Amino acid sequence: MTLENYNYIRELAEKKIRLDQRSEFEGRKITIKDNVIHLSDGSAYVEIGGTKVMAGVKVLNGTPFPDRQNEGALVVNFEASELATNYNDDRINYSIEVGRSI
């Protein structure tokens, strides 16, 4: 961080203003819409500030695995816009990281 940036951030902190000009305790604008994906069993679209997330759920009845008759299976899929991420071509490590966090 440059000294100029440091001084700017310090000045904002003294004025109790954030970098995006919100006040100290002012939250980001939140928008929530449900049932936005019509082919899913449930879905939601959420915006918090400039971050946008869409999630959908699809439920299917299936035959349990023979060795786990009282359990089901959950499959998770995650997709991110390349513009929304700051990783290079190291997609394998990024996929592992996302998979572990889910």
Q: Which domains does the chain have, with CATH numbers?
A: 3-101 (3.30.230.70)
pLDDT digits (tens, 9 = 90+) for 18-73: 988 999 899 999 999 999 999 999 999 999 988 889 999 988 888 888 999 898 88
What's this model's pTM, rounded to 2 decimal places? 0.60
Who has greater pLDDT, 74 or 33? 33
The DSSP code sequence of the chain is: --HHHHHHHHHHHHTTB-TTS-BTTPPPPEEEEE---TTSSEEEEEEETTEEEEEEE-----PPPTT-TT-----------GGG----S-HHHHHHHHHHH-
Q: Would you place residue 95 in the very low, low, confident or very high pLDDT band (cuts 50, 70, 90)?
A: low
